[in-house]
Amino acid sequence: MQVFDPRLTPARTDLAAKHLEGKVPAARYVEGRVCEVIAAQAPMRREPRPDAPLDTEALKGERVTIYDRNAEGWAWGQLVTDGYVGWLPASALALPGVAATHKVAALRTLVFPGPSIKLPPIEALPLGARVAVARVHEGMAITQTGGYIPAAHLTPIDVNERDFVAVAERFIGVPYLWGGKTALGLDCSGLVQIALAAAGVACPRDSDMQEAALGVPVAAAGDLADSLERGDLVFFKGHVAIVQARENFLHANAHHMAVVTEPIADAIARIRVTGHEITSVRRIAR
């Protein structure tokens, strides 16, 4: 019998996506409705309540297929970008608008209600958020909804970063947040996903999914350090680190409660104390 990952399968005992009919048991099957995230960032939680664990975040401009809504203001659906399933605040969603033309290339940018940066900003958008720009005037990108964003903080939707490690390095010092994906806080796999996305590489959300899907395996020849290159992903059970240089890891971790650069030998020794060894090293094609 086929086993479906519940993180990626829009199915509950009471309701499931129509395309899963005959594949998973459910009381009823429904067609989804595609919506767009209109909040700067929206939490996706395991249960429809604000104190439920945060599994991931959806960024402005992302599309999500919604299958259910409840009376408490929560919507249950699946993100189009990485397939993750969970509950989002319904207030963060709307029917899709004009297709995005640009994405945020700065770690964080501000949206102003008019052409002056002296005006109180109305929104703060994270790296990777998507917006539809109507025109650019005097250094400000004017969105289809009337917001003004510094044009230098945006890049066309089809322009990608060359070095995803350099993107990840910009997050050094950002707090560790389980399920987070922005400069307000992020976790190890969130750091990898958002950095690779900026470089145009599709990436699953969780570290075990990333280990199974990304790159090609690197076989250690003698000393591990001699086999590593900048940008290699080193996986442990429940954790992933980016090789910044042959001697250093770059990773978000709960030990430091931040994104840090750490000597590889020190990190491996520290993680080994918790009972975990390296499970694989994967190399992303560049």
Reported as a single tens digit per residue, the pLDDT across 44-65 is 999 999 999 999 999 999 999 9
Please report, for residues 17, 56, 182, 231, the alpha-carbon distance to residue 68 in angstroms, rounded to integers and kept in the order given: 10, 19, 27, 39
Strand 29-30 relative to strand 16-17, pairing: parallel
Q: What token pair was written down for 235?
A: 């996986």
Mean of the pLDDT values across residues 106-133? 98
pLDDT of residue 219: 76
pLDDT of residue 2: 74
Q: Which of 24-28, 184-188, 225-229, 239-243 has the lowest mean pLDDT?
A: 225-229
φ/ψ of 12, rounded to 5, equals: -130, 170
Residue 208 has pLDDT above 70, yes or no: yes
More confidently predicted of 221 and 116: 116
What's the rounded Cα separation, in Å, for the pair 153 and 197? 16
pTM across the whole model = 0.96
Written as one letter, the residue type at 66 is: I
pLDDT of residue 199: 97
Q: What token pair was written down for 196?
A: 């690779």
Q: What token pair was written down for 185?
A: 């806080």
Mean of the pLDDT values across residues 164-185? 98
Task: State the DSSP code for 230.
Answer: T
What's the rounded Cα separation, in Å, for the pair 235 and 194? 17
